Structure 1
Amino acid sequence: MKFIRPMVYSVMAVVIGTSAFLLTTGRATSQTDAANQVHPTAYIEKNEVSASFKVGGRITEILVKEGDTVTKGQVLARLQSTEIEAKVAQAKAAVLLAQGKIAEAEGATATAEAKKQQGIAGVTVTADTAEQQVAQAQAAVAAAQAKVDALHNGARPEEKKQAEIQAQAASEVLAVAEQNLNRMNAMLAQGLVSQADVDKVKVSYEEAKTKRDLAQQQLSMANQGPREEEVRGAEALLAQAQAALKLAEANRGTVAVREGDVAAADAAVQQAKGAIQSAQSGEQQAKAAQLEAETYLSYTELTAPSDGLILSQSAQPGELVGSGFPVFSMESTSTTWAKFYLPETAIANLKVGNTISMTLVATGEKVVGTVKSIAAAPDFAVKKATQTAGETDIRSFGIKVELQALPESASTGMTLQWNGKEG
């Protein structure tokens, strides 16, 4: 009996251990099979967006209704816009006014520039003319002065000597002519010559006498000097030439005046250019105000944020809505997706970009999609281990699958069943 009891205990221990091992092995095997054969389900989903006005106001038009298919940018509704339209018109008028000021300033600039160029040309012409007048007046003064000096100095000794020689020669010629005349008269008395011959000689005598008288006058003038009235006339001409010279020199001052006009015209040009810049700045401000008013005017039209289907309408014409109030709820048709939740034991080899096969539960048709994201689910989705030996916590992961071409029978909200990764 002493040996039987230990043997019984040993056999019992072996049986219990074997049973525990088989039970643990079986449970692990069943968990692995379940993990490899999971077929979770998910719903066909689309993004829902709200269509809201950017500004508040009273609705005047509703252009769509629930169930309508719309395209991105399509006008869905309008707000009352009279006040904003008035601001747009006012802003446009301000732009036109600023542009008119620019044109006016540009015209003033062109006028000032023309005056400046005219003044520059005037300075050049005036300077050239003044110098020419001064040169001419100086030459006239020099000529008049030379005349006066010549009169005051009288005839030169050479001129006097020449006058004496001419007077002596003329007297000698006269004496010869007189002798010829006397001889001809004597011969006329004797009847040797005719009266005509005497007359010819008499003419020569008279010519010689005239030349002798003229030569004596020239000699007398050379000895006596110029007359007083002739000197006064020459001095008057000199004074006139000197006055003309002073006037010409005074005209040089007009060049400085012309240069002052050019400086004033240049200042006017700069002032006009400043007016252009100021007007251009005003135009930019007016255009900015116009753009702002037109932007606010565009906000009075509610447009579809994307292609989609109108699901619901939350306001009616005549209602006052605030900025951001969801007038319409839309279902976007841009993308369709489904989100499955799988335990971590089933996604070990799953990657973003994998192709997933699914079944449309309602019809049994095959649906294909692409894994877009794999993210751990919240803590409440974690499968906690029990007190049974060998179990561990198993976390769930959300798998977002973007669906490709759906069957015509598929609708948003229908159920898809996960079949697994293709390939």
Structure 2
Amino acid sequence: MKYLRIIVLSAMVLLIGSGIFVLSTNKVESKFAGKMESNPTAYLEATQLHASFKMGGRVSEILVKEGDVVKKGQVLARLESEELLTKVAQAEAAVEVQKGKLAEAQSAVQMAQGKVGEAEASTAAAAARKSQGADAARLTAQSVEKQVKEAQAVVKVAEAKLAALQNGARAEEKQQAKSKLEATKKAQETAQTNLERLQALYEEGLTSQAALEEAEMNFKKASSEYEVADQAYQMVTKGPRQEEINAAKAQLEQAKAVLELAEVSRGQVAVQEGDILVAEAGIKQSEATITSAKSGISQAEALVLSAQAGLQQAEASLAEAQTYVSYMELLAPADGIIVSKSAETGELVGSGYPVFTIEAQEDKWTTFYFPETDVTALNVGQEVQVRLLSTGEEVEGKIVQMEPAASFAVKKASQSLGETDIRSFGVKVAFPQLPEGIVTGMTVQWSEQGVKDNE
């Protein structure tokens, strides 16, 4: 029993001593928590950007080489663009065609407005003649001869108008229609040639289905425009419609009737009443002409709107083609140095393929790793100092990020009593300015001064 008590007392003393040791160890660790116990090193890093074409194609020019310093927006390489340039030329031609249609429609509006003006003037003249006829009823028979002459003039005008309709369109109008027909025919032939060329390229696998379909659409469009021009040409060559000629004949007969009435009424004051009737007929005719001309204005304005829409569409197609042409040039995304080149002249590259790797000049940083017991005094935004091992210079940086390191960086606890795992943290430090000659990959060390006093 005596020895048992001694053993028990010894065990109690041992346990009490171990507890005191653990408590004292924890106090020491708590006392020094948050202080930097080392000056780790790290390597300078920089952002690397990949420069790639927005669309695929064959490289026609390489303008820079590895190690060259480039500026943002500088042309680095080009793709073959003959096919796209052809599309641009076609789009430009389509824009010009639509501009011609718009000008033609606007001219039609102006002509219809001119007819309205003429008809309104005729209405005013007819109204004046009507008033004059009422006054002439009080005049002598001598005024009848004047009315006869006026009626004869109307007959001549009607005869001239009928003759003009029977003679058909003017030579200039026929020539204009013929020129337009020939232009649309040439456009159709060009579109057909382009379609046949693209069909051959497609069969050889040198162009896309979309390009072939676009060529087919252009050919159909050119064929449709040719048919419209052909119909217009046929209309001009065939002459005016029969109903127009019939209307002109009716007007001529009406004018002759008025003339006969004036001649029969010669010597009678009642002849003035016939003039009044003629004037009223002229007013009605002018009003009918005004109505017809206004309808023509509405139709012409509709053609203007249609032509404007066609022009906008053609301009949009041109802008799209020009945009694709701009994709043929590879531009530097930022100022920097060419680190690597992954393509050569003549090679086919796909959209998004990294042709060049560029190291940005103004974005350098490094990441230091500390145990969690050393980062309590650090915060994002704090300014710090590090030392360049290559030159020994002290440079300023700023903490921009703090995050836990990977699990393999955790310091595992041993079997000793009271120890715990200690996790590492990555502290990313950015450098707004570095001395000349400092390049990516050089070693930097956490300065003994560490965090600057920001107060």
TM-score, structure 1 as length reference: 0.71
Q: Structure 1's 410 and 21: CA in aligned 2 closer, same or farther, altered over 3 A?
A: farther
CA distance in 2, matches of 1:377, 1:4: 54
The alignment status of 1:256 with 2:284, answered yes or no, reads yes
Contact kept? 1:73, 1:303, Cα under 8 Å: yes
CA distance in 2, matches of 1:40, 1:31: 22
Provide the residue aligned with 2:16 in structure 1. 17
CA distance in 2, matches of 1:121, 1:313: 78
Show CA shifts across 1:135-157 (max 9, x none): 4226769xxxxxxxxxxxxxxxx
Q: Which amino acid aligns with 1:88?
A: V
Q: Structure 1's 254 and 139: CA in aligned 2 closer, same or farther, altered over 3 A?
A: same
Q: Which amino acid aligns with 1:17?
A: I
Provide the residue aligned with 2:91 in structure 1. 91
Provide the residue aligned with 2:352 in structure 1. 324
Q: Which amino acid aligns with 2:110?
A: A
Structure 2 unaligned runs (5+)? Answer: 142-263
CA distance in 1, matches of 2:337, 2:294: 69
The alignment status of 1:422 with 2:419, answered yes or no, reads no
CA distance in 2, matches of 1:45, 1:101: 61
CA distance in 2, matches of 1:31, 1:384: 19
Provide the residue aligned with 1:185 in structure 2. none
The RMSD of aligned alpha carbons is: 2.6
Contact kept? 1:24, 1:390, Cα under 8 Å: no
Q: Structure 1's 243 and 346: CA in aligned 2 closer, same or farther, altered over 3 A?
A: same
Contact kept? 1:72, 1:306, Cα under 8 Å: yes
Identity of aligned residues (%): 42
User: Residue 356 of structure 1 aligns to a residue in which SS?
Assistant: strand
Provide the residue aligned with 1:413 in structure 2. 441
Superposition deviation, residue 16 in structure 1: 4.4
Q: Structure 1's 325 and 374: CA in aligned 2 closer, same or farther, altered over 3 A?
A: same
Contact kept? 2:129, 2:279, Cα under 8 Å: no
CA distance in 2, matches of 1:14, 1:41: 46
Provide the residue aligned with 2:114 in structure 1. 114
The alignment status of 1:78 with 2:78, answered yes or no, reads yes
Report matched runs for 1:18-417 at 5 Å: 18-22=17-21, 25-26=24-25, 29=28, 33=32, 36=35, 37-137=37-137, 240-417=268-445
Superposition deviation, residue 389 in structure 1: 3.1
CA distance in 1, matches of 2:362, 2:314: 40
Q: Compare 386-395 and 277-286 and name the one that shifted more.
A: 386-395
CA distance in 1, matches of 2:34, 2:376: 11
Provide the residue aligned with 2:207 in structure 1. none
Contact kept? 1:134, 1:249, Cα under 8 Å: no
User: Residue 316 of structure 1 aligns to a residue in which SS?
Assistant: coil
Show CA shifts across 1:263-319 (max 9, x none): 111112222222221111111111111111111111111111111111111111111
Q: Structure 1's 128 and 384: CA in aligned 2 closer, same or farther, altered over 3 A?
A: farther
Q: Structure 1's 32 and 71: CA in aligned 2 closer, same or farther, altered over 3 A?
A: farther
Show CA shifts across 1:32-82 (max 9, x none): 658621323221000011111111111111111011010111111111111
Provide the residue aligned with 2:224 in structure 1. none
Contact kept? 1:342, 1:399, Cα under 8 Å: yes
Q: Structure 1's 417 and 119: CA in aligned 2 closer, same or farther, altered over 3 A?
A: same
Superposition deviation, residue 22 in structure 1: 2.1
Superposition deviation, residue 329 in structure 1: 1.1
Q: Structure 1's 370 and 131: CA in aligned 2 closer, same or farther, altered over 3 A?
A: same
Contact kept? 1:138, 1:245, Cα under 8 Å: no
CA distance in 2, matches of 1:138, 1:393: 129
Show CA shifts across 1:177-230 (max 9, x none): xxxxxxxxxxxxxxxxxxxxxxxxxxxxxxxxxxxxxxxxxxxxxxxxxxxxxx
Superposition deviation, residue 250 in structure 1: 4.2
Superposition deviation, residue 385 in structure 1: 3.4
CA distance in 2, matches of 1:124, 1:377: 96
Structure 1 unaligned runs (5+)? Answer: 142-235
User: Residue 270 of structure 1 aligns to a residue in which SS?
Assistant: helix
Contact kept? 1:35, 1:343, Cα under 8 Å: no
Show CA shifts across 1:364-403 (max 9, x none): 2212101112223344433343443333333332222111
TM-score, structure 2 as length reference: 0.66
User: Residue 269 of structure 2 aligns to a residue in which SS?
Assistant: helix
Q: Which amino acid aligns with 2:98?
A: A
Q: Structure 1's 240 and 361: CA in aligned 2 closer, same or farther, altered over 3 A?
A: same
CA distance in 1, matches of 2:139, 2:267: 13
Q: Structure 1's 365 and 137: CA in aligned 2 closer, same or farther, altered over 3 A?
A: same
Superposition deviation, residue 351 in structure 1: 1.9
User: Residue 268 of structure 2 aligns to a residue in which SS?
Assistant: helix
Q: Structure 1's 237 and 364: CA in aligned 2 closer, same or farther, altered over 3 A?
A: closer
Contact kept? 2:81, 2:328, Cα under 8 Å: yes
Q: Structure 1's 237 and 314: CA in aligned 2 closer, same or farther, altered over 3 A?
A: closer
Q: Which amino acid aligns with 1:255?
A: I
Q: Which amino acid aligns with 1:351?
A: N
Provide the residue aligned with 1:179 in structure 2. none
The number of residues matched between the two structures is 328
Contact kept? 1:137, 1:248, Cα under 8 Å: no
User: Residue 136 of structure 2 aligns to a residue in which SS?
Assistant: helix
Provide the residue aligned with 2:149 in structure 1. none
Q: Which amino acid aligns with 2:365?
A: W
CA distance in 2, matches of 1:65, 1:294: 28
Superposition deviation, residue 255 in structure 1: 0.6
Show CA shifts across 1:315-374 (max 9, x none): 111111111111111111121111222233222232221101111223322121011122
Contact kept? 2:44, 2:365, Cα under 8 Å: yes
